[in-house]
Amino acid sequence: MKVLVIGSGGREHMLVKKLLEDERVEEMFVAPGNGGIAEEAQCIPIKETDIDALVNFARQEQMDWTIVGPELPLMLGIVNAFRAANLNVFGPTQEAAMIEGSKDFSKALMKKYQVPTANYQSFTNSDQAKAYIRQKGAPIVIKADGLAAGKGVVVALTEEQALTAIDDMLEANRFGQAGACVVIEEFLAGKEFSLFAFVNGESVYPMLPARDHKRAFDGDQGPNTGGMGAYSPVPDLDQEHLSFAVESILKPVANAMVAEGRPYTGVLYAGLIVTADGVKVIEFNARFGDPETQVVLPLLKNNLLQVIEDIDNGNDPKLEWRAGYAIGAVVASSGYPHQYRKGVTLPDLPDDDQCYLIHAGTVKEAEQFKSSGGRVLLVGAINQTLKRAQANIYHYLERFDQNKAFFYRKDIGDFE
């Protein structure tokens, strides 16, 4: 079989590794890929947003499957285009991807179908938004309605921070069209977790829960990032809360999308929080999350391509999971998520039987890996205990300690 993966990050490298476990996969292509992916698959210089070129490539090369990693091509209708060309593709349609592409749509859907989430209002007028903030007070959460590469959320601890966020989004147009509408939500306190599910219409098959560390620095300090590390499963998550998330959130939302004429097929990601009032939704994503994918998929016993085929055919994939824990910490470029240097040479990255490496922002030049993005790579490990897996990744990460061009959090996997 010939398989094409769309994307260039750590999530896509993990998908490639998992798909290559299938003996049927003889040729693996990735568009556009990265330095680490190029060691295992053929990278094609087509942008993930160039849908016409991707459709033409998949048709000419007679791809058996295309798996879409990132959110932007989904929102641009890549699945619709592939289906129109009679090509096998895994991911939600443009209409279904709105659950991630518009926070306002997602919140309105949850309100209509009584799915528990934070109280909110949406605004396009900054004076009205500021009046609402002054009425509600802080802490309060400001979200750009559209896609903002994980950077369109401000958890404002003071009223002043919230008002500044409104100026940034509605007045200064910081996120362009994505921030032309803002969603203002009540602040929810509690422990967060992520839950993916394979979905086809009303059929929902949940994966193991994970926890992502979003803040840049130890102790959950600093700015929000795309994610600095994750672990799975989540030891302090009650089975009762997990069952509620599946039965009262994921399944009702899948049913709601069918009822709205936007049936969902692909991976649905729920960002959830356990509050004093129970589990509530923070956000939905229309694809595998990053970096949670890098710790959930290594624990999946099933053949991923077979799971995708089962989902596509309307069959139960009968998911099975390895015992133990997976954990991964991200090495980022200093300055991330703001300004950072590219083209910095990485230290030697030897194979290690205790750890696995997932590349995100790397290129390979003259036999050396160099940085090409904010999140550079993830070092992961699997072990029967979370503490042992944690010790293994941090031992490997010591090689980055002497280089001020990179940083990583030292507390990924601390959950007490």
What does the DSSP assignment read for 221-266?
EEEE-S-SEEEES-TT--HHHHHHHIIIIIHHHHHHHHHTT---EE
Residue among 278, 267, 268, 262 nearest 112 (CA)? 262
- The architecture that CATH gives domain 325-407 is Alpha-Beta Complex (3.90)
As a whole number of angstroms, the distance between CA 214 and CA 230 comes to 9
Beta strand spans in 109-228 (E): 120-123, 140-144, 153-156, 182-186, 191-200, 203-206, 211-212, 215-217, 221-224
> Per DSSP, what are the bridge partners of residue 278?
275
Identify whether the C-beta of residue 71 lies closer than 8 Å to the C-beta of residue 6: no
- Rounded-to-integer distance, Cα 85 and Cα 63, Å: 12
Task: Classify domain 125-180 by CATH number.
Answer: 3.30.1490.20
pLDDT of residue 178: 81
Show me where the domains of the chain are located: 2-93, 125-180, 191-312, 325-407
Cα separation, 284 vs 307, whole angstroms? 22
pLDDT at 149: 67
CATH class, domain 2-93, is: alpha beta
Give 374: exposed, middle or buried? Use CB within 10 Å, 0-12, 13-18, 19+: buried
Give the pLDDT of residue 329: 98
> Nearest-CA neighbor of 153 among 119, 179, 131?
179
pLDDT tens-digit profile, the chain (416 residues): 999 999 999 999 999 999 999 999 999 999 999 999 999 999 999 999 999 999 999 999 999 999 999 999 999 999 999 999 999 999 999 999 999 999 999 999 999 999 999 999 999 999 999 999 999 999 999 999 988 766 688 889 999 999 999 998 988 888 888 888 999 999 999 999 999 999 999 999 999 999 999 999 999 999 888 899 999 999 999 999 999 999 999 999 999 999 999 999 999 999 999 999 999 999 999 999 999 999 999 999 999 999 999 999 999 999 999 999 999 999 999 999 999 999 999 999 999 999 999 999 999 998 999 999 999 999 999 999 999 999 999 999 999 998 899 999 999 999 65
Predicted local distance difference test score (pLDDT) of residue 416: 55
pLDDT of residue 46: 98
Tell me which residue of 20, 148, 6, 43 sits closest to 362, measured CA to CA: 43
CATH code reported for the domain at 191-312: 3.30.470.20
